[in-house]
A and B are shown apart, each in its own frame.
Chain A
Amino acid sequence: MSANILIIAEHDGVRLNPSTAKSVTCARALPEAQITIAVFAADAAEVASQAAALQGVSRVIKVEHAANAHLLAAILAPQVAELAKPYSHVFGPSTTFGKDLMPRVAALLDTVQVSDIMAVESATRFRRPIYAGNAIVTVEVESAGPIVATVRTASFEAAPSGATGTVEAVKLEVGLPSHTRFVSVSAARSDRPDLQTASRVVSGGRALGSAAGFQSLYTLADKLGAAVGASRAAVDAGYAPNELQVGQTGKIIAPELYIAIGISGAIQHLTGIKDARTIVAINKDGEAPIFEVADIGLVGDLFQIVPELEKLIGS
Chain B
Amino acid sequence: MKRILVGIKRVVDYNVRIRVKPDGSGVVTDGVKMSINPFDEIALEEALRLKERGAADEVIVATIGPADTQQQLRTALAMGADRAVLVQAERGLEPLVAAKALLKIVEREQPFLVILGKQAIDDDNSQTGQMLAALWDRPQATFASKVELTGEHTARVTREVDAGLEVLEVDLPAVITTDLRLNEPRYVKLPEIMKAKKKPLDTLTLETLGVALRQGLKPVRFEPPPQRQRGIRVKDAAELVSVLKGKGLI
**Inter-chain contact B163/A107, CB cutoff 8 Å:** no
**Inter-chain contact A296/B232, CB cutoff 8 Å:** yes
CA distance A72 to B238 in the complex (A): 49
In the complex, which of the residues A101, A105, A242, A278 contacts B247, with contact meaning CB atoms closer than 8 Å? A278
**Inter-chain contact B168/A100, CB cutoff 8 Å:** no
**Inter-chain contact B220/A312, CB cutoff 8 Å:** no
**Inter-chain contact A108/B124, CB cutoff 8 Å:** no
A74-B160 contact, Cβ under 8 Å, with A113-B127, A242-B165, A274-B228: no
CA distance A210 to B147 in the complex (A): 28
**Inter-chain contact A112/B249, CB cutoff 8 Å:** no
Interface size on B, residues (CB 8 A): 79
Stretch from A54-62, A133-141, A156-164 contacting the other chain: A133-141
Scoring A residues 79 to 119 as 1 if CB is less than 8 Å from chain B, else 0, what string do you get?
00000000000000001110111111111101111111000
Tell yes or no: B190 within 8 A of A by CB.
Answer: no
**Inter-chain contact B162/A74, CB cutoff 8 Å:** no
Report A-chain residues with C-beta under 8 Å of the C-beta of B54: none
Tell yes or no: A66 within 8 A of B by CB.
Answer: no
CA distance A111 to B100 in the complex (A): 12
Report A-chain residues with C-beta under 8 Å of the C-beta of B125: 103, 113, 115
**Inter-chain contact A135/B222, CB cutoff 8 Å:** yes
Q: How many A-B residue pairs have CB under 8 A?
A: 241
CA distance A137 to B27 in the complex (A): 10
Report B-chain residues with C-beta under 8 Å of the C-beta of A180: 139-141, 168-171
Scoring B residues 206 to 219 as 1 if CB is less than 8 Å from chain A, else 0, what string do you get?
00000000111111
**Inter-chain contact A312/B237, CB cutoff 8 Å:** yes
A196 → chain B closest CB, angstroms: 6
B152 → chain A closest CB, angstroms: 15
A107-B162 contact, Cβ under 8 Å, with A99-B142, A256-B249: no
A182 nearest in chain B by CB position:
B168
In the complex, which of the residues B127, B156, B224 contacts A103, with contact meaning CB atoms closer than 8 Å? B127
A181-B169 contact, Cβ under 8 Å, with A96-B143, A139-B218: yes
Tell yes or no: A239 within 8 A of B by CB.
Answer: no
Tell yes or no: A14 within 8 A of B by CB.
Answer: no
**Inter-chain contact A100/B124, CB cutoff 8 Å:** no
A312 → chain B closest CB, angstroms: 4
Report B-chain residues with C-beta under 8 Å of the C-beta of A185: 161, 163-167
A112-B162 contact, Cβ under 8 Å, with A96-B143, A280-B244, A313-B250: no
CA distance A183 to B129 in the complex (A): 21
A115 → chain B closest CB, angstroms: 5
Tell yes or no: B126 within 8 A of A by CB.
Answer: yes
Tell yes or no: A215 within 8 A of B by CB.
Answer: no
Report A-chain residues with C-beta under 8 Å of the C-beta of B12: 131
**Inter-chain contact A140/B220, CB cutoff 8 Å:** yes
Scoring A residues 266 to 298 as 1 if CB is less than 8 Å from chain B, else 0, what string do you get?
000000001000111010000000011111111
Tell yes or no: A132 within 8 A of B by CB.
Answer: yes
Report B-chain residues with C-beta under 8 Å of the C-beta of A143: 214, 216-217
A25 → chain B closest CB, angstroms: 19
Tell yes or no: A299 within 8 A of B by CB.
Answer: yes
B63 → chain A closest CB, angstroms: 19
Tell yes or no: A142 within 8 A of B by CB.
Answer: yes
Report B-chain residues with C-beta under 8 Å of the C-beta of A177: 137, 139
Q: Which of B162, B214, B236 has the most CB of A within 10 A?
A: B162
CA distance A105 to B130 in the complex (A): 9
Stretch from B45-53, B79-87, B91-99 contacting the other chain: B91-99
CA distance A168 to B167 in the complex (A): 32
Report A-chain residues with C-beta under 8 Å of the C-beta of B224: 134-136
CA distance A182 to B171 in the complex (A): 12
In the complex, which of the residues B124, B130, B135, B140 contacts A129, with contact meaning CB atoms closer than 8 Å? B124
Report A-chain residues with C-beta under 8 Å of the C-beta of B194: none
A277 nearest in chain B by CB position:
B249
B66 → chain A closest CB, angstroms: 19
**Inter-chain contact B232/A129, CB cutoff 8 Å:** no
A107-B130 contact, Cβ under 8 Å, with A243-B160, A280-B244: yes
A181-B170, A274-B228, A300-B236 given; name 7 further pairs at CB < 8 Å.
A96-B162, A113-B127, A130-B124, A183-B156, A185-B167, A249-B180, A293-B228
Q: Which 6 A-B pairs have the closest CB atoms?
A: A143-B216, A112-B216, A186-B164, A103-B130, A295-B231, A107-B134
